[in-house]
Amino acid sequence: MKSNVTVVILAAGLGTRMRSEKAKVLHEAGGETILNHVIRAALHVADPEQIIAVVGHQADRVKESVTTPGIQFAEQSEQKGTGHAVLCARAHVSSEKGELLILNGDGPLLKPSTLQSVLELHRRRQLGGAIVTTEISDPTGYGRIARDSSGLVAAIVEQKSASPNQLAIREINPGVYAFDAALFWAHIGELTPNNTAKEYYLTDMVAILTAHGHPVAPLLVEDETELLGINTRVELAAADRILRSRKTTDLMLAGVTIENPDSVLIDVDVQVGQDTVIESNVQLRGRTRVGGNCRIGAGSVLRNCEVADDVVIFPYVCADASKIHSAFVGPFARLRMNTEAAAGTHIGNFVELKNTRLGEGSKANHLAYLGDATIGSDVNVGAGAITCNYDGLHKHPTRIGDKVFVGTNSTLIAPLEIGQGAYIAAGSVITKNVDPDALAIGRSHQAVKPGWAKRRREIQEQERS
Ligand code: UD1
Ligand code: CA
């Protein structure tokens, strides 16, 4: 156990202002759902078993979306407010001692260091709790921080209940609270829905604890962008930009060159090795891992790919779930569904590989489609060669041995096996297996009619005159 911290993440709301069929916390920023970002931050201060997410709207989908195993879920079937949501989590709390860290589920930018700081402040002061605050130019909609004469937080005043004087306060509650767990649970029963919204406000706990002689300390955080809560798609886009820029900054500081950082989209879990150069408008998605000393060409989109060291990806390559150890790929190549390209392979322009293994040093330099194929090493696949892997009902495999030469515009009708060292003549339609070292020609004989073209011209000229 990391420490005696219980984390409750409030994620039961729909998020009306997103204008979506989908629960707010399921929307993505920086290539990850809002909720997974919050959980990620919480994992720095607690083990998954100590983290309880309160779900309600689309509870099943929200649960399924959580990628960290071991997270606990509490259900709040009716959304009666943030205080009520915490109450719903109580049955899942294993210890009502230590610290209770409560987080709004809609703040994906929260930094782990801020969570650590607010817990440290609470441990140092030993008051009712410590909460994060920040100052923003337009505090509309947020709970305002009412401080007492000694600078502690006397109360959080919600927008709907605030006096004109309180509305002018620019210090707000972003929804990050560390409470003394024993005190919090001892007094949570005192929350009432006596407000215009008829909700149980978690924020009332500050005034309740203060009234019992346990005031709450503020941790004023300078960078308010970290505390942005997502309510609309405009705020979602703003969060996305910030997360993207954090990612590119981290990568650049770790030795990756990014030529136009504002133009690229790199998801949080992507890894990139030292001295790799990323050109403009590249997208690296999902769990993509790129080695060192690579070049990723402009406009390329890689999703869940593994790219070895020293690989050159030319512009506009689309790759999905593929292992790329090639010397180069592209421009305009497509790799998908568990394609594997071994070391030294060349995959050129307008080549598509699907569920195919291309062995060491093999080349498909131009205009080819290789699907459901297992191709040995040092094979040359000519321009326009196609594996016909689909008969309209089923997919069939093609096996090509080492050192095979597949001539230009060959049509390889699967299922098919071409033995090691065989030679397929250009323009062949191959329907039967080819033995090792054999030559296969599958095309009609060429007929030549001497003088035919000249005679045709002469007839045409006569007709015209
Ligand atoms: C809340 C705070 C406000 C703070 C703001 C920061 C309260 C009463 N107010 O207001 O002081 O400035 O966040 O963004 O807490 N949720 C539930 N169950 C519910 C209601 C909400 O799980 O019954 C969850 C939502 O899914 C969301 C979070 O709690 O993730 C915050 O709820 P929201 O309705 O956005 O609260 P605000 O009105 O923004
Ligand atoms: Ca909110």
Which atom of ligand 1 approaches the CA of 14 most closely? 26
Residue 268 lies in a domain: yes
The closest residue, in CA terms, to atom 31 on ligand 1 is 104
The answer on 68 and 47 residing in a single domain is: yes
Residue 3 has what pLDDT?
80
Average pLDDT by stretches of 10, the chain with 465 residues: 89 92 96 97 97 97 97 96 97 94 97 97 97 95 96 96 95 97 98 93 98 97 92 96 97 98 96 98 98 98 98 98 97 97 98 98 98 98 98 97 98 98 98 98 95 97 93
Q: Let me know if 346 is a catalytic residue.
A: no
Residue 163 has what pLDDT?
95
Nearest to 184 by CA among 105, 115, 99: 99
> CA–CA separation, 23 vs 53, rounded Å?
14
Residue 243 lies in a domain: no
Query: Which residue among 82, 102, 132, 200 has the greatest number of ligand 1 atoms within 8 angstroms of its CB, and so is best to mutate?
Result: 82
The answer on 391 and 260 residing in a single domain is: no
Ligand that lies nearest to the alpha carbon of residue 34, given by its number in the listed order: 1
Nearest to 191 by CA among 180, 182, 181, 200: 200
The answer on 204 and 81 residing in a single domain is: yes
The answer on 198 and 63 residing in a single domain is: yes
Ligand that lies nearest to the alpha carbon of residue 227, given by its number in the listed order: 1
The answer on 11 and 116 residing in a single domain is: yes
The closest residue, in CA terms, to atom 26 on ligand 1 is 13
* Strands ordered across the beta sheet of 306-307: 271-272, 289-290, 306-307, 323-324, 340-341, 357-358, 373-375, 398-400, 416-418
User: Phi/psi at 99 (nearest 5 deg)?
Assistant: -110, 145
Centre of ligand 2 from the C-alpha of residue 106, in Å: 7
Residue 240 lies in a domain: no
Nearest to 176 by CA among 8, 1, 25: 8
Residue 1 has what pLDDT?
60
User: Phi/psi at 150 (nearest 5 deg)?
Assistant: -95, 10
The answer on 199 and 108 residing in a single domain is: yes
Query: Which residue among 33, 80, 104, 232 has the greatest number of ligand 1 atoms within 8 angstroms of its CB, and so is best to mutate?
Result: 104
- In three-state form (DSSP H/G/I as H, E/B as E, the rest C), the secondary structure along the chain is CCCCEEEEEEECCCCHHHCCCCCHHHCEECCEEHHHHHHHHHCCCCCHHHEEEEEECEHHHHHHHCCCCCCEEEECCCCCCHHHHHHHHHHHCCCCCCEEEEEECCCCCCCHHHHHHHHHHHHHHCCCEEEEEEECCCCCCCEEEEECCCCCEEEEECHHHCCHHHHCCCEEECCEEEEEHHHHHHHHHHCCCCCCCCCCCCCHHHHHHHHCCCCEEEEECCCHHHHCCCCCHHHHHHHHHHHHHHHHHHHHHCCCEECCHHHCEECCCCEECCCCEECCCCEEECCCEECCCCEECCCCEEECCEECCCCEECCCCEEECCEECCCEECCCCEEECCCEECCCCEEEECCEEECCEECCCCEEEECCEEECEEECCCCEECCCCEEECECCCCECCEEECCCCEECCCCEEECCEEECCCCEECCCCEECCCECCCCEECCCCCCCCCCCHHHHHHHHHHHHHC
The answer on 135 and 39 residing in a single domain is: yes
Centre of ligand 2 from the C-alpha of residue 227, in Å: 11
Q: Which two structure tokens, joined as six digits, stand for 441?
A: 């020609």
State the CATH number of the domain containing residue 457.
Answer: 2.160.10.10
Residue corresponding to tokens 């390209």: 341
Which atom of ligand 1 approaches the CA of 81 most closely? 23
The answer on 440 and 419 residing in a single domain is: yes
The closest residue, in CA terms, to atom 39 on ligand 1 is 142
Ligand that lies nearest to the alpha carbon of residue 58, given by its number in the listed order: 1
Contact 410, 392 (CB under 8 A): no
Measuring from each residue's beta carbon to the nearest atom of ligand 1, which residues come in under 6 Å?
Answer: 10-13, 54, 76, 79-82, 84-85, 104-106, 142-143, 156, 158, 172-175, 201-203, 229
Q: Where is the domain boundary, 299, 316, 333? A: 316
Which residue among the candidates 92, 187, 366, 396 is catalytic per the annotation? 366
Assessment of whether the complete model's pTM goes beyond 0.75: yes
The answer on 207 and 80 residing in a single domain is: yes
Centre of ligand 2 from the C-alpha of residue 134, in Å: 15
Ligand that lies nearest to the alpha carbon of residue 142, given by its number in the listed order: 1
The answer on 146 and 34 residing in a single domain is: yes
Centre of ligand 2 from the C-alpha of residue 148, in Å: 25
Domain that holds residue 125: 5-227
The answer on 175 and 260 residing in a single domain is: no
Centre of ligand 1 from the C-alpha of residue 70, in Å: 25
> CA–CA separation, 148 vs 207, rounded Å?
11
Q: Which two structure tokens, joined as six digits, stand for 338?
A: 């568990």
The closest residue, in CA terms, to atom 6 on ligand 1 is 174
Residue 238 lies in a domain: no
Look at the chain and report how many structural domains it folds into.
3
> CA–CA separation, 43 vs 110, rounded Å?
12
Residue 247 lies in a domain: no
Residue 239 lies in a domain: no
Which atom of ligand 1 approaches the CA of 197 most closely? 8
Centre of ligand 2 from the C-alpha of residue 164, in Å: 21
Residue 364 lies in a domain: yes
The answer on 334 and 216 residing in a single domain is: no
